[in-house]
Amino acid sequence: MKKTDKSERNIVLSASAATESGNHLAEGNFTLKRTNRTLTSTDYGTAGHGGGDPSPKYMLLYYMSHRDTNLFKFPIGIGETWTEEGHWRVQTKSRLEGYESVEVSAGTFSDCLKHKTVFTDADVKDTKTELRNALLNGTRYLWFAEGVGLVKLRYEHSNGVVTEAELLEYKIPVEDQEYLPLQIGNVWSYKWQNTYRAEAAIEEWRVIRNFSEPENLDTPMELVSARYEIKIDANERRVANVMCVLTPKTDSRGEVTSPLQTDQKPLLLSMSHFGTEDLYDGYSRYLRELTATDTDGEKIPVTEIGKTQWMVEVENDLPVTLRYKVLLNHDEREWAFGRDEAPYVQEDCIFCPGYALFIVGEVADIELRVDVPDDWHVSTPWNRIGNERDHFAITDQDDLMYAYLVLGKHSERMAESEGTEVLLALGGHFKASMDEVQRTVKSLLHTYSGIFGGTPKDRMLFVANPCDIYSGGGVSGRSISVLMDGTLDADNRQSWTPLVAHEICHIWNGKAINFRGQEYWFSEGFTEYCSKISCVRLGIISENDFLRDLERKYKLYLSKQGELSIREAGENKMSNRELVYDGGSLIAAALDLLIRKHTQNRKSLDDLMKQMYREFGLTGNEYTMNDVIRIVSQIADEDFEPFFKKYVSGTERLPLADYFMNAGIDVEIAFGEKLPSLGYILFQMLQINSLGGPTGGGMFIHQSPQYQDDDNLIGINGTPVKFFDDIRKAAKDWKPGDMVELTLQREGENVTLPITLAGDPSESPPLEPGPIDVTITKKTDSTESQRAIWSGMLGNGNPSQVEIL
Ligand SMILES: [Zn+2]
């Protein structure tokens, strides 16, 4: 193993903050670069909340890490002074002042290096600009003890606020004479406080990475094949033991590579980052005991060089064996994409997506063996090799990473229609509903193949498991996952089929028909509409339920309409669901009605979907919005560009009433009066930092100095309040300086608390739209052509489709 002396090192510290009583507040990380000459703070990131801290800097590490400034210059000398420009154009002047003895909870440290930095001229371009600038500008003192690290911090901010931190405990396993020792495993815990915090915070810092980047990372070793094996024991179901043999491509010159050769390419390995934006260590959080060995069984060092990225400095072109464990504890936390797309362990089965399980390199020839007890099923979307139950062929690393695996005593069956195969894997009490689910999926496949005029031939995996705390579904590669409450029985089909129908529809729209860039309004919205009308056509949901669902969607769409366009909203489809899913499906409904009107009901949205499947689903070409505009315009023989400009890429309100009139359906909207914003009432006027509820019948106050934790807000000025909108209504005419009376339930007693409303009296509270009401009803006096359009949409009088069920 060659050991070159690399002077530049990248160091990552993770941090987590909690209250003294142990309530989690936030987590983050900061990165440093160490050379022979400097130790520089290069970046930081945090996630979480400050637990009532209204300042934007709710972690201690903010006060330590100013991007692109030097914490130290080497060699260290008293009196040394340096000036720089940091992030937000802040001007810094640092000076090493001398040595002082410091007494903190962790002990007394003589000869601490006193480090002073003056920050001026910060020009923050972000939210809370004024406060951020005030906190950033000021004078910061740091005291470092040799071999220990940061012992104390005092930051005198330009607005008079002071932040103070002291070292509580530290662990430096390997002795080190640096003023800030940065070996992996070093841990410090600090107690810190400023006037923004109701309670002191405890923050722990830990060095998690310290590596130098090799020079030849750009040209990694190429691989010819990867052979994976997963082993899970019945009595240790939360541990997946993974082994992988990676075989490199031999040198193209056909020469045997000399072990002395110094330009040997490193083996680069990684795990997916999918859905782990807020985790500094990604899926490697659950990884243990990663090792690499050569063909003689000798260990080869594995270096972590980034978030879920590793380098193995191999010395020849012989196969390398990786071994590691994955702890399947992912269901202990919330995931941005929902619980249905992260590993979980149920009583009878284990669900795991490939991205949480596999460390991969760039390789096309992949096989997987799964070693589980004989009475377990192994359900995957992959083709089996031979007739072996547990041996699979995988196309490439994406096919491996973006597939789901279900292992256990769940039940497994194939649903087939028109050549499309969907392998059903049902766990828990859903197993009892296998016949019903198989029948439903088959009829959905049949209906969709009618709408799209064909069926994709890939095999898909469909996983459904019961979950009483979460309901949702997702698609990844050739796999679909659904978690839901309740049962999958025939007598409550209307409650579970829509979610299943939506996900199955993605086999066509989303998987076969795919976009270039970002067109989630089509891929999610049109999927939602097609699956809903299919459920009506199959008699699974009634016409009345369909109308109620439209009302709900239009209301949700209207609550966000105007803020950003339906198309733009797709940049963050989960937090803009009202525009992407609800708005997108209303665009589909509008187009269905408009096409039918322009063609005397001879053409419909089905013709658009058929053409999309022909042009993009069958060819693999990717569509853009212009393709949709072109096809709709062709089918309806009318220019639809203005429609898309207004309602899809623009923010104009979709006039749904005009379109539904063509089908004899009345759409009425009632906008409630504008009311003050809830945020302004709570945070500014009432000084309530956290209000829980309204679930459980109360609104509980937390982390607000003027109140007691668990004060239950039940009335304002003698009027009961139950929901957030009740507070907004009560605050309709409030002005800062007014006196109001809150009724609180405090330790079982009703307490009346007079409050003087805070805020600037010269400013009136910001108003936000009031509640919106939408009523959609079928006219009793509709014309024959209106009735024809309506029954065409919902497929009434089409017995061939109803018969299937
Ligand atoms: Zn979807």
Instruction: Give me the DSSP letters along 64-86.
Output: H--TTEEEEESS--TT-EEEEE-
If you measure from the C-alpha of residue 635 to the centroid of ligand 1, how many angstroms do you get, rounded to a whole number? 26
What dihedral do alpha carbons 73, 76, 78, 84 form, nearest 10°?
0
**Long-range contacts from 759-766, C-beta under 8 angstroms, 24+ separation:** 759/680, 759/684, 759/685, 760/736, 761/735, 761/736, 761/737, 763/736, 764/735, 765/676, 765/677, 765/680, 765/681, 765/684, 765/685, 765/731, 765/734, 765/735, 766/676, 766/677, 766/680
Q: Using the Cα atoms of residue 339, residue 345, residue 348 and residue 352 in order, give the sign of their dihedral.
A: positive
Listed residues: CB within 5 A of ion ligand 1: 524
How many angstroms separate the CA atoms of 124 and 135, rounded?
A: 11
β-strand partners of 226: 246, 366
Residue 755 in this model has a pLDDT that exceeds 50: yes
How many angstroms separate the CA atoms of 144 and 142, rounded?
A: 7
Residues 6+ apart with CB under 8 A from 640: 591, 594, 629, 632, 633
If you measure from the C-alpha of residue 362 to the centroid of ligand 1, how many angstroms do you get, rounded to a whole number? 29
Residue with tokens 């992959």: 382
Q: Which amino acid makes up residue 24?
A: H
Averaged pLDDT, 183-195: 91
How many angstroms separate the CA atoms of 138 and 128, rounded?
A: 17
If you measure from the C-alpha of residue 774 to the centroid of ligand 1, how many angstroms do you get, rounded to a whole number? 25
Averaged pLDDT, 273-278: 82
Averaged pLDDT, 410-426: 92
* Of the listed ranges 248-252, 691-695, 754-758, 799-803, the one predicted with least confidence: 799-803
Q: Using the Cα atoms of residue 171, residue 174, residue 177 and residue 182 in order, give the sign of their dihedral.
A: negative
Q: Which CATH architecture has domain 509-672+782-800?
A: Orthogonal Bundle (1.10)
pLDDT tens digit sequence for 94-130: 999 999 999 999 999 999 999 999 999 998 877 778 8
Residue with tokens 């409450």: 485
If you measure from the C-alpha of residue 340 to the centroid of ligand 1, how many angstroms do you get, rounded to a whole number? 13
Does 223-409 carry CATH code 2.60.40.3650?
yes
DSSP assignment of 335-397 equals: -TT-GGGS-EE-SSEEEEEGGGT--B-S-SEEEEEEE--TT-EEE-SSEESTT-TTEEEESSH
Residue 731 in this model has a pLDDT that exceeds 80: yes
Q: What is the CATH number of domain 675-768?
A: 2.30.42.10
If you measure from the C-alpha of residue 504 to the centroid of ligand 1, how many angstroms do you get, rounded to a whole number? 9
Contact 258, 399 (CB under 8 A): no
If you measure from the C-alpha of residue 473 to the centroid of ligand 1, how many angstroms do you get, rounded to a whole number? 8
β-strand partners of 756: 739
Helix (H) or strand (E) holding 680: none
Per-residue pLDDT at 568:
93
Contact 632, 595 (CB under 8 A): yes
Per-residue pLDDT at 251:
61
How many angstroms separate the CA atoms of 385 and 367, rounded?
A: 9
Residues of the chain with CATH 2.30.42.10: 675-768
Per-residue pLDDT at 536:
94
Contact 141, 149 (CB under 8 A): no
If you measure from the C-alpha of residue 525 to the centroid of ligand 1, how many angstroms do you get, rounded to a whole number? 8
- Residue bearing the bigger pLDDT, 419 or 245: 245
Averaged pLDDT, 409-424: 91
If you measure from the C-alpha of residue 485 to the centroid of ligand 1, how many angstroms do you get, rounded to a whole number? 18
Helix (H) or strand (E) holding 773: strand 772-778
Residues of the chain with CATH 2.60.40.3650: 223-409
Report the 10 Å Cβ neighbour count for 614.
15
If you measure from the C-alpha of residue 468 to the centroid of ligand 1, how many angstroms do you get, rounded to a whole number? 21
Residue 138 in this model has a pLDDT that exceeds 80: yes
Q: How many CA atoms lie within 13 A of 290 on its CB side?
A: 21
Residue with tokens 């000036």: 83
Instruction: For residue 451, give both structure tokens.
Output: 């709408």
If you measure from the C-alpha of residue 293 to the centroid of ligand 1, how many angstroms do you get, rounded to a whole number? 42
pLDDT tens digit sequence for 1-35: 334 445 788 898 989 999 887 788 888 888 899 98
Residues of the chain with CATH 1.10.390: 509-672+782-800
Residue 51, by phi and psi: left (phi above 0), alpha (psi -120 to 50) or beta? left
If you measure from the C-alpha of residue 472 to the centroid of ligand 1, how many angstroms do you get, rounded to a whole number? 10
Per-residue pLDDT at 5:
44
Q: Using the Cα atoms of residue 436, residue 442, residue 446 and residue 449 in order, give the sign of their dihedral.
A: positive
User: What does each C-alpha distance from 553 to 487, 497, 509, 581, 595 come to in angstroms?
Assistant: 25, 18, 20, 9, 21
Closest CA to 485 of 463, 465, 456: 465
Confidence of residue 52 (pLDDT cuts 50, 70, 90): low
Q: Which amino acid makes up residue 465?
A: N
Local structure of 131: helix, strand or coil: helix
If you measure from the C-alpha of residue 493 to the centroid of ligand 1, how many angstroms do you get, rounded to a whole number? 19
If you measure from the C-alpha of residue 471 to the centroid of ligand 1, how many angstroms do you get, rounded to a whole number? 13
If you measure from the C-alpha of residue 527 to the centroid of ligand 1, how many angstroms do you get, rounded to a whole number? 7
- Residue bearing the bigger pLDDT, 369 or 213: 369
Averaged pLDDT, 583-599: 96
